[in-house]
Amino acid sequence: MTKFEKVSLARYQEDRAEILLKEGLSREEAYKIAEQEYAGIEMPRRGTLFSAGYDIRTPAAYRLEPGQSLVIPTGLRIAMEEDMWLGVYIRSSLGFKYQVRLSNSVAVIDADYYGAENEGHLRISLYNGGDRVLELAAGDAFAQGILQKYYKTDDDDPVRKVRKGGIGSTNHS
Q: Give 115-158 pLDDT, tens digit per residue.
A: 999 999 999 999 999 999 999 999 999 999 999 999 999 998 98
pTM of the predicted protein model: 0.89
Q: Which of 23-27, 110-114, 138-142, 159-163 has the lowest mean pLDDT?
A: 159-163
Domain architecture of the chain: domains with CATH: 44-152 (2.70.40.10)
β strands within the chain, DSSP E: 3-6, 45-46, 54-57, 62-64, 69-73, 76-79, 84-90, 100-102, 107-110, 123-128, 134-136, 141-149
Mean pLDDT for 154-164 is: 76
Share of the chain above pLDDT 70, in %: 92
Distance of CA 28 to the CA centre of its chain: 24
Distance of CA 126 to the CA centre of its chain: 10
Q: Give 93-104 pLDDT, tens digit per residue.
A: 999 999 999 999
Q: Cβ of 76: how many Cβ atoms within 10 Å?
A: 25
The end-to-end CA distance of the chain, in Å, is 29
Q: Which pLDDT belongs to residue 158?
A: 84
Q: Give 19-35 pLDDT, tens digit per residue.
A: 999 999 999 999 999 99
